[in-house]
């Protein structure tokens, strides 16, 4: 059993490492996607673009409506699943090595 784990280390360690890295990336992307402060910053930037004349009223109204809908979705998700909204609470890593068993 131990010999099998030792022989599979060149494959299992990189796979475990990649799984861990991909989970971290997914958690950060999830946090970024459902963070209301990001949407608030985008709304502020949109308002500045309107004041500077970079965009017109129609484009502003369209993009503001999209951002407000996204903000409502974030708030609804946060109210439905408050425990799962905390990414740090779900984050964990389990690393097993053949040397742990004795």
User: Which pLDDT tens digit goes with each residue over 10-38?
Assistant: 777 787 888 889 999 988 888 888 888 88
Contact 50, 57 (CB under 8 A): yes
Identify which of 1, 10, 26, 13 has the alpha carbon closest to the alpha carbon of residue 91: 26
The model's pTM = 0.55
Confidence of residue 86 (pLDDT cuts 50, 70, 90): low
Identify which of 69, 80, 63 has the alpha carbon closest to the alpha carbon of residue 36: 69
Q: Is the pLDDT of residue 77 over 90?
A: no
Q: What is the pLDDT of residue 10?
A: 79
Which of the given ranges, 37-41, 61-65, 95-99, has the highest pLDDT on average? 61-65
Contact 39, 70 (CB under 8 A): yes
Alpha-carbon distance 79 to 70, whole Å?
14
Average pLDDT rounded to a whole number, residues 53-68: 95
Average pLDDT rounded to a whole number, residues 53-72: 94
Is 83 or 75 the better-scoring residue by pLDDT? Answer: 75
């Amino acid at each position: 059993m131990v010999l099998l784990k030792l022989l599979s280390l060149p494959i299992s360690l990189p796979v475990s490492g990649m799984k861990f890295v991909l989970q971290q990336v997914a958690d950060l992307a999830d946090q970024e996607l459902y963070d209301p402060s990001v949407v608030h910053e985008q709304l502020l930037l949109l308002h500045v673009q309107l004041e500077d004349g970079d965009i017109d009223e129609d484009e502003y109204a369209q993009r503001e409506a999209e951002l407000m809908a996204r903000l409502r979705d974030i708030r609804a998700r946060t109210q439905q699943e408050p425990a799962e909204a905390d990414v740090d609470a779900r984050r964990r890593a389990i690393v097993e090595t053949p040397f742990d068993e004795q």
